[in-house]
Amino acid sequence: MINTEKQKTLVIGHRNPDTDSICSAICYASLKRKLTGKDYEPCRAGNVNPETQFVLDFFQVEAPRLVESVKTQVKDIEIRKTKGVDRGISLKTAWSLMQENNVVTIPCVTEEGVLEGVITIGDITKSYMNLYDSSIISKANTKYSNILDTLEGSIVVGDAEAYFDKGKVLIAAANPDLMENYIEKHDLVILGNRYESQLCAIEMEAGCIIVCEGAGVSLTIRKLAQERGCTVITTPYDTYTTARLINQSMPISYFMTMENIIGFSDEDPIDDIRDIMANKRHRDFPILDSDGKYLGMISRRNLLGAKGKHIILVDHNERTQAVEGIETADIREIIDHHRLGTVQTMSPVFFRNQPLGCTATIIYQMYQENNVKIDKTTAGLLCSAIISDTLLFRSPTCTAVDKEAALALAEIAGIHAEEYAKKMFAAGSNLKGKSDEDIFYQDFKRFTVGNSVFGIGQITSLDSEELENLKPRMLAYTEKAREQHDADMMFFMLTNILTESTDLICVGQGAEQLVSTAFHMADEYGSGDEEMEEMDGIVSLPGVVSRKKQLAPQIMMALQQ
């Protein structure tokens, strides 16, 4: 059963993560671990961009684990740890285990933990109710140790590890003269304490004799059985009970299901398996890990009241920007510096949202508020995030609080903010060899305003020539991205850090006109429709460097108007 007190909490940023999203997740997870002693894991919802990779490499930190979905998985719910059994155990043993553990299905596994099959209470019932021929025990390749266990017997002659794999089972109720007519070589004969019957069975080359009611076996019979290779077993049961019980000694391997077993991986989302389980008559289903090893069993009842993964969102609070499956997750906290979005939570959560230039600044404040010492690596990551989000304090989103935090963190990390920023931005703007798709999604966010859907991608660079050469490529790809996202409009910002300006690619019906309206640029393009149609899809926006504070809000207001 999952212990919710020990359940891991994932700290994760938005899709297409930037440096703030990655670094804030790492540093906040570390803070939460120090404050609570519980398990918090930083994660990412997309690939690491070159700028962020530079930061991680510089401070020798591994990138967080990629999490593409936080849908509730099988491993997030209660899994019944029904112990796997060997395929050779008897039906009687399997039945006893079912009664002891109050289960109706038992998995059969190898020594390595690989699932071989399953035996159900229905399979055992059929073995009792179906009419089998008298050779069923040998056909099932039944081990003598199973017979001994089932009949609570003792072996007098023979090897308990050997198998009864030839012949039929019969009861010696007649006198020896008649017995000679129906006992054949290799048969298993159930009989009483009559010396003549025991001797006859052995002379007819029976494979095994079972002496009932605890009767003794003479030295002569033992010696003869040894010479003829006949196994001798004694049981306290009478012949009727022995005959009734002996079928229960057969191994479960003869009756269990070994092919087309309906099982699931512990990674499977429960939404995907719910319908499958509902359409099958099975009550229990085996669960396997990624290596195919058996973990446990689940039933439809386990899906009732299943709780989502514990999640903390950093650097975003909009559903369209969140990792897939966020609607099923149990969001515990949100730490952000953006506008309020559309994420809904199951219950009240800790929500900290401040009008600052970077989420990392908020996390820096939380370290200070909780008197937790910031080490050199943490300081470097938080500082890098602030430098990235504020474009080294050039962005209009930057506040005095951001700058003060970044400089204090730079001192702890032992870096010179301006020199380090140049190296970081250069790494991020090195776009040689990258595909149009990689460039476009390096930093991309999707927005919804009413019935309108649009997206904004952005790259920043110190190289004006590089940005200029990218324009025709990215103009074509932005249209492709708009179609892929089924968006009304799509925008791509080519931002020059040195000149603090952006060339904005606009695609979609009315996209350029919307930007013109948003930034009051009608005079520049003229007021007639003819002039608007002659635009080339790229609008120059001097002084605009921030998607969050300058571009996205203006577009949203223009759409609402």
CATH of the domain at 405: 3.90.1640.10
Domain-terminating residue out of 428, 452, 487: 428
325 and 413 within one domain: yes
Check: pTM over 0.75? Answer yes or no.
Answer: no
499 and 447 within one domain: yes
Helix or strand (DSSP H, E) at 545: none
Using a 10 angstrom Cβ sphere, with 0-12 exposed, 13-18 middle and 19 or more buried, the burial of residue 200 is buried
In Å, how far are 44, 261, 281, 461 from 300, measured between CA atoms? 32, 16, 11, 54
* 531 — pLDDT class (breaks 50, 70, 90): very low
* More confident: 345 or 483: 483
Domain-terminating residue out of 212, 233, 249: 249
The contacts of residue 78 (CB under 8 Å, 6+ apart) are 1, 2, 298, 302
Convert the pLDDT of each residue in 165-175 to its tens digit: 999 999 887 67
289-293 own/partner pairs: CB under 8 Å, 24+ apart: 289/265, 290/265, 290/266, 292/114, 292/115, 293/112, 293/113, 293/114, 293/115
CATH code of the domain containing 445: 3.10.310.20
421 and 324 within one domain: yes
Convert the pLDDT of each residue in 406-456 to its tens digit: 999 999 999 999 999 989 988 887 777 789 998 999 889 999 888 899 999
97 and 39 within one domain: no
553 and 446 within one domain: yes
pLDDT for 530 beyond 50: no
pLDDT of residue 522: 58
The 3-class secondary structure across 303-314, one letter per residue, is HCCCCCCEEEEE
pLDDT for 58 beyond 90: yes
Identify the domain containing residue 167 by its residue range. Answer: 141-249
CATH code of the domain containing 87: 3.10.580.10
**Helix 417-428 / helix 50-58 crossing angle, nearest 10 deg:** 130
Amino acid at 558: A
325 and 276 within one domain: no
pLDDT for 492 beyond 80: yes
CA dist., res. 396 & res. 551, Å (int): 11
261 and 123 within one domain: yes
Q: What percent of the chain has pLDDT over 90?
A: 63
Convert the pLDDT of each residue in 514-523 to its tens digit: 999 999 885 5
Q: Is residue 2 part of a domain?
A: no
Q: Which residue has the tokens 């009315």?
A: 510
549 and 450 within one domain: yes
CA dist., res. 299 & res. 301, Å (int): 5
pLDDT for 80 beyond 90: no
523 and 459 within one domain: yes
Q: Is residue 4 part of a domain?
A: no
Convert the pLDDT of each residue in 118-166 to its tens digit: 998 888 888 777 667 788 999 999 999 999 999 999 999 999 999 999 9
Q: Is residue 134 part of a domain?
A: no
314 and 414 within one domain: yes
Task: Give the total number of structural domains in the chain.
Answer: 4
pLDDT of residue 6: 57
Q: Is residue 133 part of a domain?
A: no
CA dist., res. 368 & res. 138, Å (int): 76
Q: Is residue 19 part of a domain?
A: yes
Neighbours of 249 (CB within 10 A): 24
